[in-house]
Amino acid sequence: MEIKTIFLDMDGVIVDFDGMVNEKFGVVSNPYEWEYLYEQDFGMSAEEFWLACDNAFWRSLEFTKEAVDIFQILGERDLLDRVCLLSKPVSHAYQGKVDWIKDHLPQLYYNKQFLLGPEKDWCAHPKALLIDDNESHCLKFMEAGGNSFLYPRPWNMCHVLEYRANLELEEYIDALGLRGPKAWKR
């Protein structure tokens, strides 16, 4: 299978959104669910919560503990030039996310290897791979003709594999035979 573009999700895969939520708002009642219980967890509506996530919030997010290894896996296989960060931000988060990319991944920023938009499945095609932690994004991407890898997280169906998430990703990429021209052959 030939993959030309690897769409890499930000929040939950390489960016620790939940860690910053816990730091800014307090620990959520059930970290194993996709949707927050806004009133119960934060004492505010969903709209108030998302408005409180201003540009400074988005810009100050940190990498997940797995992010360095994800980029190492892709780099060892000479695939970094195929990576495009893909995120579906709330409307007022665009600039904060762009600033985060510029601050934390300047090579991807200056090479314009990122897309921020409303629906990830609009980027789907047979030579595209989406790496995401959201089951519905992965399913819609596949239904639209792309390929996807559901990155194991506590809130998705692959949660039992979270302890070996990067090994799962590595095995998936190797099973596809993904290699750039400068990668060492195994």
pLDDT the model gives residue 95 = 94
Name the pairing type of β-strands 83-87 and 128-132.
unpaired
pLDDT the model gives residue 40 = 87
Cα 20 to Cα 22: distance, rounded to the nearest angstrom: 5
pLDDT the model gives residue 34 = 65
pLDDT the model gives residue 152 = 97
| pLDDT tens string 137-186 | 999 999 999 999 999 999 999 999 999 999 999 999 999 999 888 876 54
Domains of the chain with bracketed CATH: 5-16+61-176 (3.40.50.1000), 17-59 (no CATH)
pLDDT the model gives residue 120 = 96
pLDDT the model gives residue 29 = 66
* pLDDT value at 79 more than 90: yes
Residue 63: phi, psi to the nearest 5?
-65, 150
pTM of the model: 0.93
What Å distances lie between residue 40 and 54, 116, 142, CA to CA? Answer: 21, 30, 34
Cα 115 to Cα 62: distance, rounded to the nearest angstrom: 19
| pLDDT tens string 87-119 | 999 888 999 999 999 999 999 999 999 999 989
Name the pairing type of β-strands 128-132 and 147-150.
parallel
The first and second tokens of residue 112, run together, are 């314009």
Cα 73 to Cα 36: distance, rounded to the nearest angstrom: 31
Higher pLDDT, 40 or 167: 167
